[in-house]
């Protein structure tokens, strides 16, 4: 049931007229961020994040998180997009992921800054 006062179930912000167009822009940024997280490459992550996020995630903080989390997870095996939500007017993509060193499903949520010329990540959580 869809209430006319509710936003659409899938939200991709300004990044396309439909999900396919938006995902063609957003997924490469997701892949760069996740690979950077997996390998501890702060500069690669910095290239796809907003200045606002960079102010909150220093190179040292990134390295500490990498050392604490990446070995426990291992390499990314797969990820599946489960939803695109409206987060304060920006698209938040939710994924269920599998990593080689855990049998648990891992939730990844990544929020992009809307109305940007290039998609940039403003929030990222791996839990």
For residues 111 and 125, what is the distance between their CA atoms, to the nearest angstrom? 9
The strand ranges marked E within 6-126 are 76-87, 90-99, 106-112, 121-126
- Give the pLDDT band of residue 1 (cuts 50, 70, 90): very low
Mapping DSSP to helix (H, G, I), strand (E, B) and coil, where does residue 13 land?
coil
pLDDT tens-digit profile of 95-119? 999 999 999 999 999 999 998 888 9
Going along the chain from its start, the domains and CATH numbers come out as 19-126 (3.10.450.50)
pLDDT tens-digit profile of 60-83? 999 999 999 999 999 999 999 999
Please state whether the predicted TM-score (pTM) of the whole model is above 0.85: yes
């Amino acid at each position: 049931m869809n209430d006319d006062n509710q936003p659409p179930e899938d939200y991709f912000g300004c990044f396309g007229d439909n999900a396919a167009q938006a995902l063609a822009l957003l997924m490469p940024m997701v892949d760069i961020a996740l690979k950077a997280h997996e390998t501890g490459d702060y500069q690669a992550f910095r290239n796809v994040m907003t200045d606002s996020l960079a102010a909150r995630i220093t190179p040292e903080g990134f390295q500490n998180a990498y050392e604490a989390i990446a070995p426990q997870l291992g390499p990314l095996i797969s990820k599946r997009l489960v939803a695109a939500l409206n987060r304060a007017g920006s698209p938040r993509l939710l994924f269920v992921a599998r990593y080689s060193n855990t049998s648990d499903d891992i939730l990844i949520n990544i929020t992009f800054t809307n109305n940007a010329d290039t998609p940039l990540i403003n929030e990222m959580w791996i839990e």
